[in-house]
Each structure stands twice: as C-alpha cells, then as structure tokens.
Structure 1
Amino acid sequence: MRWNEKASLPVGELQEIARVHELIDGLGRRLDGKPAATQTYRRRRAVVFNALEFAVELEHLTSNPLSRVRRKRGKRAVQEVDRRVVVNPRQARELLTALTYVGGYERASGRRLRAFFGCLYYAAMRPGEALGLRRSDCTLPAKGWGRIELAEARPTAGKA
C-alpha cells in the first residue's frame, strides 16, 4: 500500500483540468503508448468515473472531474470493403448449388445448409438469427417478395 500511496496522484489534484486531461489521455493508451481500443477506453473510463463518484461521496472532491471534460473523438477511418473477401452473386449461387450435393436426400443436411447460407446471403441475417429461424417466421408467397420476422436468435458464445 505504501508504494501505491507514493505512486498515486492525490485525489485533490484532479480539481485541476490539466490533470484530468492527462488522466483521460492515459485511459486511452496501452502500456506500450499506442492507442487503446475504444471498448478498452470506455471500460477504463467507467471504472475511474465510479471511483471518482465514490470520492465525491466521501467528500474528497466537490464534483466528479470527468463530468466536466469531454474527450475529443478520433477521426473515423473510412472503411472500404475488400472485394476479394466478399462473396459476389455468382459465387453465392454456386455455393448454394454445391450445398445441394452435401449428404443424401434423406439426411437433408445439404438442404438445411442451403437454407442457412441462403438466409445469410439474401436476407443479410447473422448466423444466430438464421439458426433461430422457423418456418412459421416466414411468409413466402408464390410470387413476389416474402417476409421474415425474426422472433428468436440462437447466438453461440465464443464462436466467431
């Protein structure tokens, strides 16, 4: 604890806005000095914010210094889709056709896979949404557009 007391900034110094900016900058950096991920920054900021709220409750601070300062948002990078890694319509049709050859007709695994990947491609569903899809969720007219109502998702933890 003595090392912690020596190495830590006295809580009263956070009344100075310059110190608060230093704190915020530190929250947004990794140990190697490179910028931290946005979620990492948010998680760290939430922990520090709650600790400072506790300091206010104990009357070590008059108000939470993080409430007075806004962090400048970084410029969002323009993201361009790499055409080499995105399925094009021809590839999607060929994949769905190839899936009909998987397993035997009685096992129906190829038909299930075709329906699964067809939903991912044509309806832009996430895998968990396609897994939770039931026939009763679909309105499929003989002609024209159909309708899918996503009633359930079946996400699998730890799967990407």
Structure 2
Amino acid sequence: MNYYIFRHSETYFSKNDAHYGSLNETAEIIPEGVAATERLAKYLATKNINAFYSSPFKRCVQTAEIVEKITGKKFLTDTRIGEEMINYGKETFDELVDRIKKFLDEIKTKKYQGIAICSHGWPIATLVAQITKGEVSQNDLKSYPACGILIEIENGVTTKKDFN
C-alpha cells in the first residue's frame, strides 16, 4: 500500500507557531495556505489512490474539501487521526500511538492500492513512524511536516514533496 500523508492547510496558529488552546477543534485555515493545498491536490489526482481519510477537526475538513474539489474524491473522517490531546491532558503518548496503530491496522485489511491522509503534526509523525519502522518513540513526534508538505511512502520509500 502506498501512503500520501499531509498536514492541514495553514492556520493562524501553525503560521505563528502558537497553541490552539480552546480553538483546537474549530480553528480554520487561512487564505495563504489554499494555493499550496490546491497544488498538492493536483498532484494527488495523478496518483492511484483508493481511499481518502481526514481528521474531523475543522482545519482538516476544510483542507479535505479543497482536495475533494480537485480530485473528485470524497474524504472519510476518522477520529483516530484527529489532533493529539497530550498537551491538553486528555490522552497519553501511549494512547496516541494506540489509536494511530488501530487506524493503520484497520486500513491494512482493506487492501487499498493507495491512501491519502489529512491530519495533524504529531499524529502524522506517529503514522510515518508506525508505517516505516513499526514502532514509535517520543523523539519521532519532532518529525512532522509543515503545512503544504506531502509525505509519500511508495513501495517502502519515503519522500517529501513541498507544495509551498
């Protein structure tokens, strides 16, 4: 299975390296990030992707809507790829890893050729570590992409493409 994993479009908070606080689930994307998402979507449209998944958080749903318009493919939302809640005291590192692992275990049973995933920083870092190494350490959480960066894992080879 090939994976195409990307972070939501730019938000005020991601642009300014600020915490979302009480706006974690409702923060919206800003116009500056839309062009990068459109370029990323055009690239995804050229790939053999059978399934599209998104976090249910508003910034990911808005990003998914942009990609849907260009690819013609509908995203399914899944809470397991939602934002980390470690910084909010609502989950532990192990719980984050466990929910991402459960998501991956389920999609592996579906035998997709390719899957696109729109998520958030730490969940993306966790996804990539699980897929490429089969395990996740807390150090892996530092390795998440900026908005507008696509992580491709095709035939076991990981590359990053910058659409900014």
Q: Which has the higher strand share?
A: 2
Per the normalisation by structure 2, the TM-score is: 0.24
Greater C-alpha radius of gyration: 1
